[in-house]
Amino acid sequence: MTLNDVWFAAIAVLWVGYFVLEGFDFGVGMLLPLLAKDGTERRVMINTIGPVWDGNEVWLLTAGGATFAAFPEWYASLFSGFYLPLLLILVALILRGVAFEYRAKRDSDRWRAGWDRCIEIGSFVPALLWGVAFANIVRGVKLDADHEYVGTFWDLLNPYAILGGLVTLTLFATHGAIFLALKTTGDIRKRAGALALKLGVAAAVLAVAFLAWTQAQSGGNAWSVILAVLAALSLVGALVAIYRGREGWSFTLSAVAVGVAVVSLFVVLYPDVLPSTISPANSLTVQNAAATPKTLGIMTWVAVIFLPLVLLYQSWTYWVFRRRIGVRDIPA
Amino acid sequence: MDALDLARWQFGITTVYHWLFVPITIGMSLLVAMVHTAWVRTGKPHYLRATKFWGKLLLINFAMGVVTGIVQEFQFGMNWSSYSRFVGDIFGAPLAMEALLAFFLESTFLGLWIFGWDRLPKKLHLACIWLVAFGTMLSGYFILAANSFMQWPVGFTIANGRAELTDFGAVLTNKVVLATFPHTIFAAWLSAGIVFMAVSAWHVGRRRDLDVFRPSLKLGLWTALISFVLIFFSGDTLGKIMTETQPMKMAAAEALYETMQPAPFSLLTIGTLDGTEPIFQLEIPGALSFLATGSFDGKVQGINDLQAQYEKEFGPGDYRPYIPITYWGFRLMIGAGALAALIALVLLWLTRKGRIPERRWIWSVAVWSVVLPIVAHSFGWIFTEMGRQPWIVFSQMETVAGVSPSVSAGTVLFSLIVFTLLYGVLAVVELGLMIKYGRKAPPPVEPPKEDDDSTLAFAY
């Protein structure tokens, strides 16, 4: 295993961290209009992720920065090639982040309603588009010999990618609903559990179709098949657990499902990082997209020291805010 | 306009905008940590009220810095993919480290600080805001180390058509970052000091909540003054390093066309519209020599000589930055910063020994001077970046070569319009909230509740 492989794995880990964590807070944001009956319930939902969503989002910045550092060619081709989807994601993340902080800053229903739309749309758009983006990465895009993207925006919206988007959308919504069932009390907890079950069935059907399509497209890869099956089983397990009212287990299993599904896609992708559909010779791989061994070596030390530290204090945050929240807890 | 110009405008607009909020965040998190410490150590309720009051303004501002920061990281790949390919081996590492070491720290502990009142032990809760303050400065170090590579590339070799890392220690201890970092951090403290001064002045001038705002005013004034002294000396060091590393930028800062020994500091130059010829000049003899070299009769190279020298070194081309911008940018940075410090000094004198001046205009000046550090920061960066032109990485890559070849002008224009509109609306919203919460009375200290387990200490 070379340093290039280590960094391919490290990038996968960062995306797993990002999707497992921000996946549920996207879910919570999207479910605001579906679950909350009134303003107080909205506040209950938003406060379940209040102390943690920003820390969750840093996983994205770290994944982006690490890709830049470890695979500059990948970063350059991906970010310039996926320009418009990334622009939409940026706008969504900006509106959403500001909305969390500002929604309670004026005592006006219109003001709050406006920001709540920002949270809902700002969660929905990235939840959909990250799936579209990842499906395109796995499927490959039109890269020329200089590794420049020569396709259009519409090429990125192919059926396979749209299916990928629907998978992340429903999966994150399910993950978020399970998280809400785990973190709330009272009526909203029950409704979140029931909704998780419905959304989860849709997510499971879409995910199985997507993973099967992925295998058919890539010609089948034993490890990724095993991982894909494992992801599907975890999701089913999560649904069984939520049905039985075991919210802790359900959340653990849905987190595993999201994480393992991401890993399975990275396994399909390897050793490419961004395949070219024009010619395999144009594909970006862990070799030709990478930084020098020197940079990779330094970054390895940095990651080995600091990533566990981050995990430690971030886990501690979740421990500090482990209590369930109910309508009763919201100050007038 | 072509994709290059549009990408440059986009970088300029989004970066200056991002930097409207960041210095205030860096400085204010430190000042809030200090006020919070004062409360934990003395237990005096007005310090608690002050912590909550300033904490709220900090959070309103923090949010904007965070969300506009994501754009910055994505933008290198989106608009500047050729640049990213060329420097990624060196430039990516500080960005990744900024996220891993600093952003996680800031965002996680900020969440703990916001929601941790009454839930964490007092001292642990206090430690959270100190970690936030530390994180903001750490993040500044990494991004400035990355920027300093563009100003003065070190620790690399050109191989395989790109810049490859040879010495990461050299990148992190680039003499430019060692001078830029303190200068930038001190300037951030000045901003926060002036924000404390301006907001406190609004209340003190109306004699409201004096127990909270008199100490806050004093803290702001002293912070501003001390920071200015530090800015002055760190700026002096930075000026000399700039002369050494990028003499063209120093010449452009002064619109010094011909090499001079000794060189005067220009107070006012009016040039031709294309910025290539001076028409009228007013100057202090020898001052530029001192600024650039430390001696009043040092030799300072002029734009025309440097242009000839660079043509020999790098081949034919125009190596002059756009002089009107560098010249006025440099002056606005120094002028606005100095004026802010002067106002702080005067106000410190007027409020000595508990005095509260009666004249309303004094307080109005103090309130309005909040724009001065913002102007100084913006033009400082416009000068720094425009003064590096035509290079994106000095002496290694020209800006024209850095832009994404696969992204059309129309696409960049579209995103430029989207960001400008979005940022414009958010600026109005942010400013509205800062004014609203800046004018509010600090919250009363709540009596400790019996069952404070049942309600959230802070709920969105």
Q: How many CB atoms lie within 10 A of CB B2?
A: 11
Lowest mean pLDDT among A45-54, B276-285, B365-374, B381-390: B276-285
A119 to chain B nearest CA, in Å?
13
DSSP character string of A4-63:
HHHHHHHHHHHHHHHHHHHHHHHHHHHHHHHH--SHHHHHHHHHHHTTTHHHHHHHHHHH
N- to C-terminal Cα distance for chain B?
44
Entry pTM: 0.94
Domain residue limits, chain A: 3-293
Q: What is the pLDDT of residues B180-221, one digit of tens each?
A: 999 999 999 999 999 999 999 999 999 999 999 999 999 999
- Its CATH class, for the domain covering A3-293, is mainly alpha
Kindly state the percentage of chain B with pLDDT values over 70: 95
Q: Are B303 and B371 in the same domain?
A: no
B36 to chain A nearest CA, in Å?
20
Indicate whether B446 belongs to any domain.
Answer: no
Residue B449 in this model has a pLDDT that exceeds 60: no
Determine, for residues A58 and B429 on separate chains, whether the beta-carbon distance falls below 8 Å. Answer: no
Indicate whether B460 belongs to any domain.
Answer: no
CA B80/CA B385 separation, integer angstroms: 15
Residue B447 in this model has a pLDDT that exceeds 60: no
The answer to whether the beta carbons of residues A79 and A60 sit under 8 Å apart is: no
Mutation for testing the B interface, residue in A79, A307, A319 having most B CBs under 10 Å: A79
Q: Are B315 and B335 in the same domain?
A: no
Indicate whether B454 belongs to any domain.
Answer: no
Q: Helices A3-35 and A109-139: crossing angle, nearest 10°?
A: 140
Residue B452 in this model has a pLDDT that exceeds 70: no
Q: What is the pLDDT of residues B31-54, one digit of tens each?
A: 999 999 999 999 999 999 999 999
CA B209/CA B205 separation, integer angstroms: 11
Lowest mean pLDDT among A30-34, B244-248, B289-293, B436-440: B289-293
Token code pair at residue B312: 């020999």
Indicate whether B209 belongs to any domain.
Answer: yes
What average pLDDT does range B257-277 have in this prediction?
74
Which residue reads 């609903």 in tokens?
A: A177
Contact partners, residue B346, CB within 8 Å, separation at least 6:
none
Determine, for residues B63 and A98 on separate chains, whether the beta-carbon distance falls below 8 Å. Answer: yes
Q: Are B173 and B216 in the same domain?
A: yes
Identify the pLDDT of residue B265: 84
Q: Is B82 on the interface with A (CB under 8 A)?
A: yes
Q: Is A298 on the interface with B (CB under 8 A)?
A: yes
Token code pair at residue A214: 């992925």
DSSP character string of B44-87:
-HHHHHHHHHHHHHHHHHHHHHHHHHHHHHHHHHHH-HHHHHHH
Residue B454 in this model has a pLDDT that exceeds 80: no
Indicate whether B450 belongs to any domain.
Answer: no
Determine, for residues B96 and A299 on separate chains, whether the beta-carbon distance falls below 8 Å. Answer: yes
Contact partners, residue A117, CB within 8 Å, separation at least 6:
none
Q: Which amino acid is at A6?
A: V
Residue B455 in this model has a pLDDT that exceeds 60: no
Report the run of H or E that residue A325 belongs to, with start and end: none
Closest CA to B197 of B87, B43, B362, B84: B362
What average pLDDT does range A16-29 have in this prediction?
97
Considering only CB atoms, which chain A residues are within 8 Å of B431?
none
The answer to whether the beta carbons of residues A192 and A244 sit under 8 Å apart is: no
Q: Place B256 in a pLDDT band, splitting at 50, 70 and 90.
A: confident
Closest CA to A132 of A173, A89, A95, A91: A89
Q: Place B458 in a pLDDT band, splitting at 50, 70 and 90.
A: low
Considering only CB atoms, which chain A residues are within 8 Å of B96?
62, 65-66, 68-70, 299, 302
Q: How many domains does chain B have?
A: 2
CA A240/CA A219 separation, integer angstroms: 32
Considering only CB atoms, which chain B residues are within 8 Å of A51?
111-112, 114-116
Looking at chain B, which residue has its C-alpha nearest residue A92? Answer: B67
Q: Place B272 in a pLDDT band, splitting at 50, 70 and 90.
A: low
Q: Are B399 and B292 in the same domain?
A: no
Which residue reads 């802790």 in tokens?
A: A248
CA A47/CA A28 separation, integer angstroms: 10
Distances from the Cα of A85 to the Cαs of A125, A130, B266, in angstroms? Answer: 9, 9, 49
Looking at chain A, which residue has its C-alpha nearest residue B75? Answer: A79
Identify the pLDDT of residue B36: 96
Q: Are B415 and B310 in the same domain?
A: no
Residue B276 in this model has a pLDDT that exceeds 80: no
Of residues B460 and A309, more confidence is placed in A309
A73 to chain B nearest CA, in Å?
5
With left for phi above 0 and alpha for psi between -120 and 50, is residue B455 left, alpha or beta?
Answer: beta
User: Residues B74-100, buried b or exposed e (16+ Cβ, 10 A)?
Assistant: bbbbbbbbbbbbbbbbbbbbbbbbbbb
What average pLDDT does range B171-185 have in this prediction?
96
The domain of B290 spans 247-320
Identify the pLDDT of residue B1: 79
Identify the pLDDT of residue B277: 67
Token code pair at residue B264: 């005067």
Looking at chain B, which residue has its C-alpha nearest residue A95? Answer: B67
Identify the pLDDT of residue B266: 79
Determine, for residues B63 and A148 on separate chains, whether the beta-carbon distance falls below 8 Å. Answer: no
Q: Are B134 and B277 in the same domain?
A: no
- CA angle centred on B304, ends B300 and B307, rounded to 5°: 105
Residue B57 in this model has a pLDDT that exceeds 70: yes
DSSP character string of B79-138:
H-HHHHHHHHHHHHHHHHHIIIIIIHHHHHHHHHHHH-TTTS-HHHHHHHHHHHHHHHHH
DSSP-based three-state secondary structure for B278: strand
DSSP-based three-state secondary structure for B446: coil
DSSP-based three-state secondary structure for B407: coil
Considering only CB atoms, which chain B residues are within 8 Å of A84?
411
Q: Are B143 and B276 in the same domain?
A: no
The answer to whether the beta carbons of residues B301 and B341 sit under 8 Å apart is: no
Report the run of H or E that residue A273 belongs to, with start and end: strand A272-274
User: What's the whole-number average pLDDT of chain B?
Assistant: 91
Identify the pLDDT of residue B275: 59
What average pLDDT does range A322-329 have in this prediction?
88
Identify the pLDDT of residue B259: 87
User: What's the whole-number average pLDDT of chain A?
Assistant: 94
What average pLDDT does range B391-399 have in this prediction?
94
What average pLDDT does range A220-238 have in this prediction?
91
Q: What is the pLDDT of residues B434-443, one digit of tens each?
A: 999 999 999 8
B160 to chain A nearest CA, in Å?
10
Residue B450 in this model has a pLDDT that exceeds 60: no
A232 to chain B nearest CA, in Å?
31
Indicate whether B457 belongs to any domain.
Answer: no
ipTM over 0.85: yes
